[in-house]
């Protein structure tokens, strides 16, 4: 809220209301004096043409998103926020400590990893802001998405080396569920050895091996997961699996958690242990390799898509469809983010982190191809020039020829 006090009015809005000096001042906040004068001249030419009744590019007002000339910019503006979220960035930030804990780091090291991740995000975002007008949106998004693909694929490979040995002890835990449909889970090395003995998979994971445990459970159609518990952590406290930790407290929360689920049925449904994955705990070296790959992911995201994605979609949308188009694009991006958040733990429980990170890498590879071969460069172009590119074609304006 406080930051909004420092946001300048749109120079085009000011110019159309006769406040030319204010429009010039708004342009000079992000442009050179020469660039500002060029844009002011374009604004004046548009107004003169409108008054003469001639069709002009950049004319204010709203038009249908379904017009053929708006299809490409509208689709691109929707694809960018969708691809931004499909990198898994919000899930990786939100579950970073848990991911690092299961990669082999101690609880303290995993939380320090989260601090480092946050610092990398902050510093590289500043770098992206400084570079966005020097290197261009297209260049930074392409470089950032390429780096993200490599980073995510590296994390996936590292987890696959460990997760191919995991064991599901859900049947053993299901047998211990209490009559009130709750389950206290204390996980130390002794209890881990008992679970391993119960599953009969001690050949795959020998008794006495340090392991982690993640339990995916449900009441009706609502699912939740415990945090990762390490048998080697002597300070770990027992976890209580109970209905209130899974079933939403009211229908509003229930709708956003799972719009197709029945809250009334979940309040009386039995506890079901869907997965109880016991995974060998890698050493700290493996954990730090994973952490470095995740830090690299964060650096490339912050430098490219994290900064340039939002700049690009605001510039791609022609003025006449921007309000409606931006609203739809942002809603679609948020829908993808919500879907990932809702399925993240269940996917990890069933297929492991390796499958999820491979999926994120594949989606980001598509993002890279869009950025490298389809997205036009908008650096140094006025909104009128960008709109003219989409209306008349790259051959007439030359925007598509500038890639950095």
List the structure tokens of 115: 């601090």
pLDDT of residue 359: 95
In a domain, 383, yes or no: yes
In a domain, 198, yes or no: yes
Q: How far is CA 95 from the centre of its chain?
A: 12
List the structure tokens of 309: 């994605």
Per-residue pLDDT, averaged over 333-340, amounts to: 87
Task: Answer whether 350's CB lies under 8 Å from 275's CB.
Answer: yes
Domain of 151, CATH number, reads 1.20.1250.20
Same domain, 113 and 201: no
pLDDT of residue 325: 73
Task: Answer whether 76's CB lies under 8 Å from 315's CB.
Answer: no
In a domain, 61, yes or no: no
Same domain, 280 and 171: yes
CB count within 10 Å of CB 118 equals 13
Residue 222, phi then psi, degrees to nearest 5 = -100, 130
In a domain, 306, yes or no: yes
**pLDDT of 321 strictly over 70:** no
Q: Give the number of domains in the chain.
A: 3
The last residue of one of the domains, among 266, 284, 302, is 284
The more confident residue out of 206 and 178 is 178
The last residue of one of the domains, among 228, 253, 284, is 284
State the Cα–Cα distance between residues 378 and 317, nearest whole angstrom: 11
Residue whose pair of structure tokens reads 């809220």 in the numeric block: 1
Same domain, 293 and 156: yes
Both ends of the chain: CA-CA distance in Å?
Answer: 34
- Express each pLDDT in 222-248 by its tens digit: 988 887 788 887 777 888 999 998 999
Half-sphere exposure of 178 (CA within 13 A, CB side): 9
Same domain, 147 and 291: yes
List the structure tokens of 310: 């939002």
CB count within 10 Å of CB 352 equals 22
SS3 state of residue 183: strand
In a domain, 94, yes or no: yes
Same domain, 128 and 186: no
- Express each pLDDT in 254-294 by its tens digit: 887 788 889 999 999 999 998 888 888 888 899 999 999 99
State the Cα–Cα distance between residues 114 and 109, nearest whole angstrom: 9
**pLDDT of 216 strictly over 80:** yes
The last residue of one of the domains, among 242, 260, 284, is 284
In a domain, 65, yes or no: no
Q: How far is CA 344 from the centre of its chain?
A: 12
Q: Are strands 183-185 and 239-241 parallel, antiparallel or unpaired?
A: antiparallel
Same domain, 277 and 294: no
pLDDT of residue 366: 94
SS3 state of residue 355: helix
State the Cα–Cα distance between residues 157 and 289, nearest whole angstrom: 11
pLDDT of residue 51: 63
In a domain, 370, yes or no: yes
Same domain, 352 and 384: yes
SS3 state of residue 332: helix
Same domain, 222 and 270: yes
Q: How confident is the model at residue 60 (pLDDT cuts 50, 70, 90)?
A: very low
Same domain, 171 and 280: yes
Same domain, 182 and 269: yes
Q: How confident is the model at residue 345 (pLDDT cuts 50, 70, 90)?
A: confident
Cα angle value 214/364/340 (rounded, 5°): 40
Same domain, 257 and 203: yes
Per-residue pLDDT, averaged over 155-168, amounts to: 88
Same domain, 291 and 278: no
Q: Which domain holds residue 278?
A: 167-284
In a domain, 402, yes or no: no
Q: Of 373, 333, 347, 388, whose CA–CA distance to 86 is shortest?
A: 333
Half-sphere exposure of 137 (CA within 13 A, CB side): 24
């Amino acid at each position: 809220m406080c930051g909004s006090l420092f946001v300048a009015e749109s120079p085009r809005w000011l110019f159309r209301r006769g406040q030319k000096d204010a429009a010039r001042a708004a342009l000079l906040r992000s442009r050179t004096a020469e660039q500002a004068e060029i844009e002011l001249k374009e604004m004046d030419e548009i107004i003169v043409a409108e008054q003469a009744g001639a069709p002009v590019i950049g004319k204010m007002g709203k038009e249908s998103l379904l017009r053929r000339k708006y299809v490409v910019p509208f689709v691109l503006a929707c694809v960018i926020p969708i691809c931004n979220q499909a990198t898994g960035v919000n899930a990786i930030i939100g579950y970073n400590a848990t991911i690092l804990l299961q990669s082999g780091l101690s609880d303290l090291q995993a939380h320090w990893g989260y601090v480092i991740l946050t610092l990398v995000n902050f510093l590289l975002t500043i770098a992206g802001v400084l570079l966005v007008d020097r290197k261009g949106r297209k260049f930074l998004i392409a470089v950032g998405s390429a780096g993200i693909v490599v980073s995510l694929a590296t994390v996936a490979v590292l987890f696959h080396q460990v997760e191919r040995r995991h064991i599901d002890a859900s049947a053993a835990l299901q047998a211990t569920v209490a009559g009130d449909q709750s389950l206290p889970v204390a996980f130390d090395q002794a209890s881990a050895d008992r679970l391993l003995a119960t599953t009969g998979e001690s050949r795959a994971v020998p008794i006495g091996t340090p392991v982690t445990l993640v339990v995916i459970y449900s009441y009706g159609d609502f699912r939740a997961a415990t945090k990762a518990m390490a048998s080697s952590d002597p300070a770990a406290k027992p976890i209580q699996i109970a209905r209130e930790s899974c079933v939403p407290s009211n229908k509003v929360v229930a709708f956003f958690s799972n719009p197709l689920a029945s809250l009334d049925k979940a309040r009386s449904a039995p506890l079901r242990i869907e997965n109880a994955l016991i995974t060998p705990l890698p050493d700290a070296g493996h954990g730090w390799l994973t952490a470095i790959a995740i830090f690299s992911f964060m650096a490339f995201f912050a430098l490219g898509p994290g900064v340039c994605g939002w700049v690009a979609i605001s510039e791609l949308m022609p003025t006449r469809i921007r309000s409606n188009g931006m609203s739809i694009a942002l809603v679609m991006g948020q829908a993808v983010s919500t879907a990932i958040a809702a399925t993240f733990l269940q996917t990890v429980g069933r297929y492991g982190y390796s499958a999820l990170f491979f999926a994120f890498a594949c989606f980001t590879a598509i993002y890279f191809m869009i950025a490298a071969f389809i997205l036009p460069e908008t650096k140094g172009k006025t909104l009128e020039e960008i709109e003219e590119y989409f209306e008349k074609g790259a051959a007439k304006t030359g925007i598509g020829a500038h890639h950095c």
